[in-house]
Chain A
Amino acid sequence: MEKKNIAGVEVEFTEDGFLADASQWTKEIAAELAKEDGIVLGEDHYAVLEYLRKENAAGAPLTIRKVGKSGIVDIKGLYQLFPGGPLKLSSKYAGIPKPTSCV
């Protein structure tokens, strides 16, 4: 466990760099995490993050297929928003655990 001070909050991270506690999440934390990867979050990004958080809270397993069918963004759009890690990076910024599915 690693602790970092982000946007004035002491945030705990897992070894992989994911938020240890999803309830600590704020939009500012998401923006800071994305900035480390060189991504500036906009409205479209946040719409995806909100969706992921909602689904995760409901206990639903997440796949890019599911996000692609959510009506929020298609798969191509998801890759454009989060280059190099459509589900992994978006989950990281959404403050939910690292995805465990293979699709």
Chain B
Amino acid sequence: MDNKEQKPLEKVLIICAKGSLEDVYASLVMANGAVMEGIETKLFFTFFGLDGITKKYMDKLYTGTVGNPAMRMPGGLKFPTLLGVLPGVEAGVSSMMRSEMDKLDMPPPSEFLDMIAAGGGEIFACKLAVEMFKLKKEDFHDEVKDIITIGQFYEMATGERTQIIFT
């Protein structure tokens, strides 16, 4: 295969609609990775995904311990859903996940957003969801550029080698 014949991606628009730790991180890792590759990057947070850019919650995201068939104990043993409902279990599991990620040099979301913005990536909040949750611009991370409609978001999706990713 001749590398020169391949046309690289030029722009990605990533939509984060869920607020669990792993969903927000999936979007952040993809967005940061794109910025690092020199790809123009727009990140759009909507519905529960807004937790990922809300100052109050962004660095305290949880992973669900109930109804997740892939959830396992550290040894690989299946994690019983009934255990997941006990008070403190979800918090404990989530904090463990956060510390494991820190060991891999994965920053907390607030710092991750700073990194994405430092590389020129743009971060937006969905107008509809912001109004529904009665949030304001000041509630969000300082690097959130604007609160926009889905129409405005699509307007950014110009160019031949542009992709929209929904996580």
Contact = CB atoms under 8 A, between A and B. Distances in A.
Whether chains A and B associate is yes
Contacts of B115: 64-65, 68, 75, 103
Interface stretch (B29-37, B65-73, B76-84, B90-98): B29-37
| SS of A interface (majority) | loop
Interface string A79-103: 1000111111000000000000111
Contacts of B36: 64, 85-88
A103 B37 CA distance: 11
A64 to B, nearest CB: 6
A25 B114 CA distance: 33
B156 interface: no
B27 to A, nearest CB: 13
A87 B29 CA distance: 15
Interface in B51-108: 104-107
B107 A79 contact: no
Interface string A44-56: 0000000000000
Interface of B: 29, 32-33, 36-38, 104-107, 111, 114-115, 118-120
